[in-house]
Structure 1
Amino acid sequence: MSEPAAVSRHYAEPGFDLQRVFDAAVVMPSLLRPTIGAALRSVYAQAFSGTIQILIGIDDPAADRTVLQPALAERPPHCVVTVVDLGYSTSERRGGVHKDYSGGALRTILSYMANSRYLAYLDDDNWWHREHLASLRAAIRGADWAWSLRWFADAETGQPLCIDEWESVGPAAGVFAKRFGGWVDPNCLMINKGACEAVLAAWSLPLTVDQMTGDRQVFRALVNRFRPAATGRATTYYRMGFHDPNHEKRMTAIRARLAQNQPECAKDGQ
């Protein structure tokens, strides 16, 4: 009988002490889209003095695993990449048993696996400004969770268009204030796992009306039970999708904002 395939693998420097707690962890549920290389490189490039554990959970058993290899080969010494490959999806969307369509149970699983108190989240089609983690770690001191603002980026080119002033703008603000009490994109979050462990299961528990809304459950729990802090900086780049039901409304708002001559994207992250 053949040996079972390893479920997880660490990519680290020889002799690296994996038991040493990392200064930050990045949780990445992934379909192994071609954009994952750019997402990983944005983590590698962080102006962050500590160690970073990057946990990638593969949610598509049919995905091409070789997509990861070029970016793994570029991993800097202060980063460890932990790849979790179950060989199946945990999401109902792809035949699994967990209701959340955006990664199934992977955000919950990877959050618990992370050997760090400080968890940030990044989808494989988005990326960060180089000061994202450092600014979140600074903001979260004295708080339980922290959040940044984000840029809307073009779906095809990835060109940053304008800062999101309407959706992911924090507690009691924006277009989701009345329905959800506000909202923060998971790609903008940092959570102190020790303080907020009770919210981690909610990543896999979407609202009954929409199986893409586990993040709403997490946000609601964070707002109602834990202390927030904001960086006040737009350090996340969110690649918009044509099939998102909000896409046309977003584009209308973005065009209007650009017509007002927002500062150029060269000043992004400020």
Structure 2
Amino acid sequence: MDEPSLPEESVTVVTLTRYRPVEVQRAMRSVRAQTTTTPVHHLVLIDDNREIQSTLAEVAGDFPRCEIRYVPREPHETSGPGRSSRLRNLGVRHASSTWIAFLDDDNEWDPDHLDSLLRCAREQGARAAFSDVSLLDKDGAPYREPRWPWARSTAEAEATYRDLAARGVCEPGSNVIRHRMDVLDVPVDTSAWLLDRQLLLDVPFDDHFSAVDARDLVSEDDKLFYQLVERGEPVAATGRPTLHYYLGGYSNSYETVAPTERDAISWASE
């Protein structure tokens, strides 16, 4: 009896957007520019914003492999990782591809980002693979400050940077973050992952976040990372900084974030 054939490889890239009409089009161009020969479908989920829906409708013809879906909120839903988790899980369920990648609307990739992840995953027989990250400021210049951007104060940012530099996560003078599964306090960013769709169906994004999570700035990609570590899931790493992460808003020292932005990055416990 012939063995059943494996499904043809394909990738669905899921992007969530709400208030970034310019940045999300940059992300869409980045997905369109991917050089892999593996079929790539881009799913953009609009988080309850009709204005962005109208903007993207005007340019949809330029992105033939991009599906744009409007997702209204329930009355009880608020901004934060709980909402983001539900949207990411929706994207995974909606997809029919073998692989899932996530590109946040304010980030972009090198053209060979997906190809390098696919090759790495195939070579190592892994259902999960990730890239390293290059940090950029809002204007696109490399961020080389000796301060960890995700901190509540300048003192904390400098101390954290020194600690992570000693552990090989960052390097003075470089804007690259070296993701590692054994450095648990620096979870892999969502936009760096390539994940088997069935794996994400088995291990969906957690959509429950407590007041403690809010205090500790725990996000949905943190929880996914910890779930994969706990499962002992084999993970491959390209070792290449093909994700370009633009800093701003949440990604600033807490002391320097404007009050309006600080409100936007907080979330209610659920």
TM-score (norm 2): 0.70
Structure 2 residue 159 is the aligned partner of structure 1 residue 159: no
The match for 1:42 is 30
Q: Would you say the 8 A contact 2:53–2:70 is kept in 1? A: no
Check whether the contact 2:92–2:201 (CA below 8 A) recurs between aligned residues.
Answer: no
Q: Which runs of 5+ in 2 are unaligned?
A: 1-6, 149-168, 171-176, 257-270
Change (3 A) 1:139 1:73: same
> Corresponding residue for 2:77?
92
Q: Please give the residue correspondences for 1:1-270 in structure 2 after superposition, counting only pairs within 5 Å.
A: 23-33=10-20, 34-69=22-57, 71-75=59-63, 79=65, 81-88=66-73, 92-94=77-79, 100-101=81-82, 103-141=84-122, 142-155=125-138, 157-161=139-143, 165-166=169-170, 169-173=179-183, 177=184, 180=185, 182-202=186-206, 204-206=207-209, 208-211=211-214, 213-225=219-231, 226-244=233-251, 246=253
Shift of 1:207: 5.6
Q: 1:90 and 1:52 mapped to 2: Cα distance?
A: 34
Report if aligned partners of 1:150, 1:238 keep a CA contact under 8 Å in 2.
yes
What residue in structure 1 maps to residue 155 of structure 2?
none
Q: CA RMSD in A?
A: 2.9
CA separation in 1, counterparts of 2:30 and 2:114?
11
* Structure 2 letter corresponding to 1:215: D
**Cα contact 1:22–1:53 (8 A) shared by 2:** no
SS at match of 1:93: coil
Distance 2:193 2:126 in 1: 13
Per-residue CA deviation, residues 134-183 of structure 1 (Å, 9 max, x unaligned), is 0111111200200000111112x12333599446612112xxx3xx4x41
C-alpha separation in 2, matches of 1:171 and 1:116: 26
Instruction: After superposition, give the CA deviation of every residue in 1:63-118 in whole Å (9 maximum; x if it has no partner).
Output: 43232135422225xx2x22221333688324xxxx72562510011011111111
For the 8 Å contact 2:19–2:49, the answer to whether it is kept is no
> How far did 1:25 drift?
0.7
Shift of residue 206 of structure 1? 3.7
Gaps of 5+ in 1: 1-19, 250-270
- Counterpart residue type for residue 23 of structure 1: S
Q: Cα 1:131–1:23, aligned 2, differ >3 Å: closer, same or farther? A: same
- 1:90–1:74 Cα change, 3 Å: farther
Provide the rounded CA distance (Å) in 1 between the counterparts of 2:130 and 2:235.
Answer: 8
Question: Which structure has greater helix proportion?
Answer: 2
Q: Which has the higher strand share?
A: 1
Who is 2:3 aligned against? none
Query: 1:90 and 1:107 mapped to 2: Cα distance?
Result: 19
Report sequence identity in percent.
27
Q: 1:213/1:234 Cα in 2 relative to 1: closer, same or farther (>3 Å)?
A: same
Number of residues paired by the alignment? Answer: 215
Inter-partner Cα distance in structure 1 for 2:8 and 2:70? 23
Once structures 1 and 2 are overlaid, which stretch shifts more, 193-202 or 133-142? 193-202
Deviation of 1:57 after TM superposition, in Å, equals: 1.1
Give a deviation string over 1:166-220, Cα, whole Å, max 9, x none: 46612112xxx3xx4x410001001112244221242x23465235511111111
**Structure-2 separation of matches of 1:71 and 1:184:** 32
